[in-house]
Structure 1
Amino acid sequence: MTAPSPLIFEAAVTRPLSVVFRAGEAWEGHDYTVEVVAARPGLDGFDVVVDFRDLEAALDRRLAPLQGKLLSDLDLDGPLALARRLLADLAPFVPAPAHLKELALTDGRGRRLAVRG
């Protein structure tokens, strides 16, 4: 008889981000809530998925240079490219056996764009 697989636990942190990008001929400024979700089977010795402070600090370091910037100046062609880059940049800061499961951008109208790790 095989042992049941452990439960998968998730933890999320959020931060605000304001950026500008080109949509067709128009420029659009957006205020997003960036949500980063980490997951792992079971919990660590402190009964957590990841240390929130470490994940928040990594997210803050990645978002600070983006605040108020034009995405094309950062070689990004829109929100999807932004989300993908943030996901890739943050993944190394989530120690195994946890992993970065998802990064989502939610705008002021509640529209959500998510990429999975």
Structure 2
Amino acid sequence: MADTIEERCERLRQPVTELVAMSMAAVYRSQDVPELVRVIGVVRAILAEDASGLPAGALRDWLPTGQRVLDRMSEAVESGDAAKSYAILTDQQDGFIRLTDGCAGFPGWSVTG
């Protein structure tokens, strides 16, 4: 399914919000780890969708990195290190902050959005 950046960002908004919340929660509550694993899968599925219809730019460029971030998060969670998983998610170089850059200006992706 070809979509626009705005459509892709809209579909990612809620699952990524959940990903951040569950990543943080799992650091303190091991019972939240299964939900974190589920949300990682939801976000992974959206990131893995065909990006050929998206224009070149920050979002499209980051998608492969996002998949690797999720892989690394999964590995950390599976090894019992939810704190490491959260650190990977929030990494300033490759983490999901770059998704925020790619979706900047769309509803829910900026302070004013």
TM-score class, shorter-chain normalisation, is 0.3 to 0.5
If each structure's strand is expressed as a fraction of its own residues, which one has the higher value? 1
If each structure's helix is expressed as a fraction of its own residues, which one has the higher value? 2
TM (normalized to structure 1)?
Answer: 0.36
Max radius of gyration: which structure? 1
TM (normalized to structure 2)?
Answer: 0.37
